[in-house]
Amino acid sequence: AQSVTQLGSHVSVSEGALVLLRCNYSSSVPPYLFWYVQYPNQGLQLLLKYTSAATLVKGINGFEAEFKKSETSFHLTKPSAHMSDAAEYFCAVSVYGNKLVFGAGTILRVKS
């Protein structure tokens, strides 16, 4: 069975600082990995996905994530945080199809 662990339920950064949201996965077979963002009162929006092509995946809004098989990690980064990045971020894994297994989410707060 697949699982996802997101380290840190809340992360706070200053505007302009590096954003690093951590995600570790468990899967017995090569996984597909995703990051979704949820703004208040909105649905889940796909930021980026890894599907066994390039290990460094670039997404929308300046975010990127690197798949590291040896560390079973798929951390999300952004070089410079913007106030509009404040939201909840979810890492998810799937093996087959679109039955996603989500992490618990990390709420990102951006301080001015």
- What residues contact 97, with CB distance under 8 A and at least 6 apart? none
7-10: long-range contacts, CB 8 A cutoff, minimum separation 24: 8/106, 9/104, 9/105, 9/106, 9/107, 10/106, 10/107, 10/109
CB of 55 to another protein, least distance (A): 17
Binds another protein by CB under 8 A, chosen from 43, 56, 70, 112: 43
The span from the CA of 30 to the CA of 100, in Å, is 14
> How many residues in the chain?
112
Binds another protein by CB under 8 A, chosen from 28, 29, 41, 112: 41
104 binds another protein (CB under 8 A): yes
CA–chain centroid gap for 67, Å, is 11
Cβ proximity to another protein: between 10 and 99 the closer is 99
22 binds another protein (CB under 8 A): no
Cβ proximity to another protein: between 42 and 70 the closer is 42
The span from the CA of 12 to the CA of 6, in Å, is 15
Cβ proximity to another protein: between 44 and 86 the closer is 44
49 binds another protein (CB under 8 A): yes
The binding site for another protein (CB under 8 A) comprises 34, 36, 41-46, 49, 51, 90, 92, 96-105
